[in-house]
């Protein structure tokens, strides 16, 4: 990028974003192509990224009224540093993680965002270039992936459990974060036997307060299961050995079971390229569901289904007949991850298969499973439920959707749907918005899935700012009760968790 | 400096060999003074792969920063070394339940495998009649 281009961009996008624009390295084709495209497609602002290690706003501008009972912190995480030394990563999921804390109380909101100080970040700060191979980028001068934590970006989600706050990746250790300052404490070691093992970005805390998690160890030929008590002590780890390990982003628990749903996207270390590129989609192998009893992780039953891909589940529960009902955002294949979410980093929009909400029913006794669309017309992702109902029957799913007016590959609306009747409420942020994950926050002392709030962030790329929205859960279509605006745009993130207090 | 050598598998002086040279190994990035830095030198691919039948083994008292030792009068040939920081001093490279190392380690040439340990092809180096200095950095 020449100086004139940079100034032109400074005058528009960077000023809009309110943040210094990362400088592209000379000769970095992806960085140059992205900047050229950004001038044409302002929605790319969500993928620009930042090199700021810290972002802070003590009091956001609030429109409307934040309920006085709503008190706590929404912690979010996502890939944020998309360029190191001016060199740009080639997949959305590659960037170094940044934890965003929105502290809500007394009708006010404060924001603090900090990059997670991973081992990778320290190495690359020193080198001032990308050193480690990442999830989706393997440049000629990058190091091979010797072990998972060398490339750990801690960039997917957040978990608060047993008094500890963790920034979650999925290929390696969780990183412990100090909840107030967001200082990085270091990789979380549950016990010596699980040190350095993968810990997923979607652990589940069941109604007993037990934390369940898993991790897929592609190169070691195994998936690890974790059972962690309410105090945060690992009480049991299980190992499922398999010849070919698939990429598995999420899982579910019921009151009695743990279910791993394994799409046929298999790791093959002999293939060239980054971690993602070493995976082969093998639809003939089908999608397998492994069902474990919570009290015996050493064995499982397997149910097979025709191939499908998913990142996320909403929840699962077992009915009185022993059938398990499971909600998910289902794709026909993983092309979104290989195409759209890669090329967007170059400023290109390459459409691929999108997700729809599905209800899957698994009959472990008969060894069968079926699935059915919850709302046939709805594109939707990032399903969440009332966290108190994890593993129990839920009647509300909160998802991101689209009204069809937005020119970008993600979402601009929030949807609340009853997975049993398909009845839905919907709110669109309009054509200039990219909505991020929305979560349900129960009202203190409240009961039921309608008694609380829906919280979520939205990037308005026209205004160049990120906003936090608070809805009455029962009145989603009426629009937000309150909107709190940051003076800058945050890099689009992935998942988060609300910690009351 | 001649390092404290304990538990050697083979004699360290190869004096009398027609072509021989000294090899100085420096291990950087030692994060603490706990335990020992263990270096095993191999001259064959199969031995390197199995981490057995090393021709020399060094047990160097750990020091934060770097440690160094010289092997004298090695015959000319092709070598590779594997290193770990035995921080708890149990004389083993500790591993998690899937066998992944949980103590710091490295290899000659700072060789890295691809989703696993490197092969001899990436770690090997040649030694002829000239003294050679090799440096490698521990990863934890």
What are A142-191's pLDDT values in tens digits?
998 878 898 999 999 999 999 999 999 999 999 999 999 999 999 999 99
Instruction: Output the average pLDDT for chain B.
Output: 89
Pairing of strands A54-57, A108-115: antiparallel
Separation in Å, CA of B1 to nearest CA in chain A:
30
* pLDDT over 50 at B3, yes or no: no
Among A143, A192, A237, beta carbon nearest to B102 = A192
Write down the ipTM of this complex.
0.81
Structural domain range at position A117: 3-500
Separation in Å, CA of A145 to nearest CA in chain B:
5
Pairing of strands B20-30, B132-137: parallel
Residue among A245, A169, A244, A241 at smallest CA distance from A203: A169
Chain A residues closer than 8 Å to B98 by CB: 197, 217, 220, 222, 224, 239
Q: Higher-confidence residue: A375 or A429?
A: A429
- How many domains does chain A fold into? 1
Query: Residue B73: what are its φ and ψ, rounded to 5°?
Result: 55, 45
Beta bridge partners of residue A315, listed in sequence order:
A327
* pLDDT over 70 at A22, yes or no: no
- Indicate the pTM of the whole model: 0.92
Residue A270 φ/ψ region, left for φ over 0, alpha for ψ in the -120 to 50 degree band, beta for the rest: alpha
A225 interface with B at CB cutoff 8 Å: no
* pLDDT over 70 at B6, yes or no: no
Q: What is the DSSP string of A409-433?
A: SSB-EEEEE-TTT--EEEEE--TTE
Interface touch A220/B98, C-beta < 8 Å: yes
A224 interface with B at CB cutoff 8 Å: yes
Q: CATH number of the domain that A395 lies in? A: 2.130.10.10
Q: State the Cα–Cα distance between residues A92 and A479, nearest whole angstrom.
A: 29
Cα dihedral A219, A136, A14, A466 sign: negative
Best B28, B88, B115 residue to mutate vs chain A (most A CBs within 10 Å) = B115
Specify whether domain B20-137 bears CATH 3.40.50.300.
no
With cut-offs at 50, 70 and 90, classify the pLDDT of residue A19.
low
Contacts of A34 (CB under 8 A, 6+ apart): A24, A44, A47, A48, A88, A345, A346, A347
B1 interface with A at CB cutoff 8 Å: no
* pLDDT over 80 at A14, yes or no: no
Q: Contact, A68 vs A464, CB < 8 A?
A: no
Residue A13 three-state SS: helix
């Amino acid at each position: 990028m020449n100086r004139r281009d940079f100034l032109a961009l400074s005058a528009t996008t960077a000023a809009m974003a309110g943040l210094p624009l990362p400088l592209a390295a000379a000769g970095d084709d992806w960085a140059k192509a992205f900047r050229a495209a950004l001038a044409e497609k302002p929605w790319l602002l969500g993928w620009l990224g930042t090199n700021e290690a810290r972002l802070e706003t003590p009091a956001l501008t609030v429109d409307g009224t934040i309920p006085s009972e709503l008190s706590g912190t929404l912690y979010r995480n996502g890939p944020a540093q998309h360029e190191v030394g001016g060199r740009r990563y080639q997949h959305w999921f590659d960037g170094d993680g940044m934890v965003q804390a929105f502290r809500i109380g007394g009708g006010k909101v404060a924001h603090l965002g900090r990059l997670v100080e991973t081992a990778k970040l320290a190495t690359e700060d020193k080198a001032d270039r990308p050193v480690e191979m990442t999830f989706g980028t393997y440049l000629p001068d990058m190091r091979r992936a010797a072990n998972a934590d060398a490339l750990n970006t801690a960039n997917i989600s957040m978990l608060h459990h047993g008094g500890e706050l963790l920034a979650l990746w999925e290929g390696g250790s969780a990183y412990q974060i100090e909840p107030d300052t967001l200082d990085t404490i270091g990789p979380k070691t549950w016990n010596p036997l699980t040190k350095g093992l993968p810990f997923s970005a979607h652990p589940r805390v069941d109604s007993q307060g037990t934390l369940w998690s898993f991790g897929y160890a592609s190169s070691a030929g195994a998936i690890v299961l974790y059972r962690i008590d309410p105090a945060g002590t690992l009480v049991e780890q299980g190992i499922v050995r398999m010849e070919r390990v698939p990429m598995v982003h999420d899982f579910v628990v019921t009151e009695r079971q743990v279910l791993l749903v394994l799409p046929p996207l298999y790791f093959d270390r002999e293939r060239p390229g980054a971690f993602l590129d070493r995976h082969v989609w093998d639809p003939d192998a089908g999608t397998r569901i492994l069902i474990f009893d919570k009290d015996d992780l050493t064995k499982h039953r397997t149910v097979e289904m025709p191939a499908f891909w998913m990142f996320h589940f909403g929840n699962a529960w077992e009915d009185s007949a022993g059938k398990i009902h499971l909600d998910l955002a289902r794709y026909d294949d993983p092309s979104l991850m290989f195409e759209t979410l890669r090329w967007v980093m170059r400023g290109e929009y390459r459409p691929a298969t999108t997700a729809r909400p599905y209800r899957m029913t698994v009959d472990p006794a008969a060894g069968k499973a079926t699935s059915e669309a919850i709302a046939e017309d709805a594109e939707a992702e990032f399903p969440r439920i009332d966290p108190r109902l994890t593993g129990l029957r839920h009647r509300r799913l909160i998802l991101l959707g689209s009204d069809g007016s937005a020119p970008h590959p993600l979402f601009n609306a929030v949807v609340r749907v009853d997975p049993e009747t398909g009845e839905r409420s919907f709110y669109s942020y309009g054509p200039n918005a990219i909505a991020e994950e929305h979560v349900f926050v129960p009202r203190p002392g409240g009961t039921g899935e309608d008694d609380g709030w829906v919280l979520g962030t939205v990037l308005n790329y026209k205004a160049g700012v990120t906003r936090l929205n608070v809805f009455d859960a029962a009145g989603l279509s009426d629009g937000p009760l309150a909107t709190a605006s940051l003076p800058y745009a945050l890099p689009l993130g992935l998942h988060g968790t609300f910690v009351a207090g | 400096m001649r390092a404290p050598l304990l538990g050697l598998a083979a004699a360290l002086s190869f004096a009398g060999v027609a072509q021989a040279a000294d090899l100085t190994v420096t291990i950087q990035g030692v994060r603490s003074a706990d335990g020992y830095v263990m270096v095993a030198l191999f001259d064959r691919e199969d031995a390197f792969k199995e981490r057995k039948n090393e021709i020399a083994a060094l047990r160097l008292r750990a020091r934060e920063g770097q440690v160094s030792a010289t092997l004298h009068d090695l015959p000319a040939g092709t070598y590779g070394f594997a290193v770990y920081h035995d921080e708890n001093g149990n004389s083993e490279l500790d591993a998690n339940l899937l066998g992944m190392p949980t103590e710091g380690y490295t290899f000659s040439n700072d060789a890295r495998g691809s989703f696993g340990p490197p092969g001899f092809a990436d770690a090997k180096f040649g030694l002829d009649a000239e003294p050679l200095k090799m440096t490698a950095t521990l990863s934890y």
